[in-house]
Amino acid sequence: MATNRQSAGRRRRPIPIEFIICNPDESLSEQASFYTSLEVGEDAQLRYQEQSIIINDSMLIPIRRLGFGNFGYVMLTEVQDCPGLQMAVKHLNLYQSTHNPSDFTADTDLQTLRTVGSGENPHVTTFYTALVRKRDNELLICMEACETSMEKFSTKMHQINETQNLDLLLKRMINHMVNALSFLKTKNILHRDVKPSNILINQNPVIFKSNYL
């Protein structure tokens, strides 16, 4: 009986519960630290018509959505007071937690585009600049906007009964894609999402490997 009483007493023993108190100042500090590690701010420098201009989030005018994925979306965007300047702006979510996959994606995407998007290779989308939209906790990556994707182009071509120089065009596409992937290899970068929707085309036609999403 004594043993049963002791067991009952142990079962009734209160369980300690620890509550974590969030410090807003600490959260803001961590956020600022993450932005600093990306080397981006709310303003960014951009080359336009042989001049250097400063842009911020309020100057970006969305036109239409180009695509979306697990970690963000891409908008075709104009820049205020810069006639004719259009960019593909990739919006990536940012969080304070270092365990959140989006943090790793934002950092990786930005570093990759800074490495390969300088214009060194004509078949890789050009990286322009990056900035932070703090009110939505987003990283905005500004890139060259292309006119269509291989996926949309292929669908359109299948609707045409007769096409001129199609074989030549296909050979050029393959050549440009291999060129882009070989260039990424020289930078020790592996593109893990090669698919028609991620291969972009301009009128020239020049084929660009996309790093949109």
Q: Does residue 1 form part of some domain?
A: no
Quote the CA–CA distance of 191 and 210 in Å, as a whole number.
9
User: Could you tell me the pLDDT band of residue 20, with boundaries at 50, 70 and 90?
Assistant: very low
Co-location of 113 and 66 in the same domain: yes
As to burial, measured by CB atoms within 10 angstroms (0-12 exposed, 13-18 middle, 19+ buried), residue 138 is: buried
Beta strands across the sheet bearing 60-68? 60-68, 72-79, 86-93, 138-144, 127-133
User: CA-to-CA distance for 5 and 21, rounded, in angstroms?
Assistant: 37
**Domain endpoint, select from 94, 116, 144:** 144
Question: For position 136, which CATH number holds?
Answer: 3.30.200.20
Residue 160 has pLDDT above 80, yes or no: no
82 within some domain: yes
The angle at the Cα of 132, spanning 129 to 137, to the nearest 5 degrees, equals: 145
In-domain check, residue 165? yes
Give the separation between CA 157 and CA 160, rounded to whole angstroms.
5
Which residues does the annotation place in the binding site? 90
With a CB cutoff of 8 Å and minimum separation 6, the contacts of 209 are 123, 124, 125, 177, 180, 181, 184, 191, 194, 198, 199, 200
Q: How many residues does the chain have?
A: 213
51 and 79 fall within a common domain: yes
Give the residues across from 174 on adjacent strands: none
Active site residues per annotation: 193
How many CA atoms are closer than 13 Å to the CA of 123, on its beta-carbon side?
Answer: 18
Number of domains making up the chain: 2
Do 132 and 46 lie in one domain? The reply is yes
Q: What is the mean pLDDT of the chain?
A: 76
Over residues 35-50, the mean pLDDT reads 77
Flag whether 127 is in a domain.
yes
Residues 98 and 59 in one domain: yes
Instruction: Output the known binding site for ATP.
Output: 90
User: Does one domain contain both 138 and 167?
Assistant: no
Contact yes or no for 211/109 (Cβ under 8 A): yes
Give me 132's structure tokens: 């932070």
- In this structure, the answer to whether residues 136 and 185 fall within a common structural domain is no
Residue 36 C-beta-side C-alpha neighbours within 13 Å = 6
Same domain assignment for residues 69 and 154: no
* Same domain, residue pair 131 and 67: yes
Please tell me whether residues 71 and 128 are part of one structural domain.
yes
| Domain-embedded: residue 80 | yes
173-201 residue pLDDT tens: 889 889 988 998 898 888 777 888 888 88
Q: Is the pLDDT of residue 47 over 50?
A: yes
Q: Which helix (H) or strand (E) holds 87?
A: strand 86-93
CA distance 116 to 114: 6
Same domain, 95 and 131: yes
**pTM of this structure:** 0.73
Q: Is 107 exposed, middle or buried (0-12, 13-18, 19+ CB in 10 A)?
A: middle
Share of the chain above pLDDT 90, in %: 19
Query: Is 161 found in the same domain as 90?
Result: no
Most confident of 27-31, 58-62, 92-96, 208-212: 58-62
Which domain does 198 fall in, by range? 148-209
> What was the pLDDT predicted at 208?
62
> Among residues 120, 144, 168, which one ends one of the domains?
144
State which of 124, 144, 164 marks the end of a domain.
144
Residues 139 and 156 reside in one and the same domain: no
